[in-house]
Amino acid sequence: MVVIRARDARVERRDGRRGLRTTCSEWSAVGMTAHTPRCLLIRHGQTAWSLSGRHTGRTDLPLLAEGEAQSRALRPKLAHQQFTAVLTSPLLRARRTCELAGLEDRSIIDPDLCEWDYGTYDGLTTPEIWEERPGWDLFADGAPGGEAAADVSRRVDRVIERIRAAPGLVACVAHAHVLRVLAARWIGLEATGGRYFVLAPASLSELDWERGQPVIAGWNQT
């Protein structure tokens, strides 16, 4: 197993070797080559809390039986893809999705792909939060005791740097809100732009390039 250390983007292997990923300045020209860095976003399968609309941040829930079936159904869709890297959140629901989708043997655990930390709102639905704080919006207001949009943005910017340092197709197996922010940042929007994207469980989305510009080539395919 390979683990990315979140703070400095170093790669740590079980044999103790370490190395730095390519820096942002080095990948700026990569997008114009025949080996264009692209990314397939994979949201994890259904959990009890995602089914009931509860915010599920760092609470490490397993997949439901339905979520496991959804994840297995991804395997034939991904079997023909030639991934240069597979990055996955360390949380169980993402790692299990990665395994059932047939990607575990080449996966890299990336803590920067953890879901948005909802702090004291973890496990609550939006209507429950509105009872205490009317009009609350995650992207605008962040989560008390957790993360603001800017915090998530810093994490996904590091993930994007890793993706663009690995020419070819990279898979990211993670969670709805962090992947929504990643998509927004990929095309140059502020992290709050993630509010305009929705992701269903076990959905596939593709980030690509067109005429040298980063684009969203496919979204929320189930």
Q: Is the Cβ–Cβ distance between 181 and 191 less than 8 Å?
A: yes
Separation CA 10–CA 95 (nearest Å) = 20
Q: Which residues are catalytic?
A: 44, 115
Separation CA 11–CA 207 (nearest Å) = 23
Backbone angles phi, psi at 9, to 5 degrees: 60, 20
Q: By three-state DSSP, how is residue 191 classified?
A: helix
Q: What angle do CA 216, 25, 175 make, to 5 degrees?
A: 40
150-161: b (≥16 Cβ within 10 Å) or e: eebbebbbbbbb
Separation CA 141–CA 61 (nearest Å) = 25
- If you ran DSSP here, which 8-state letter would residue 101 be given? T
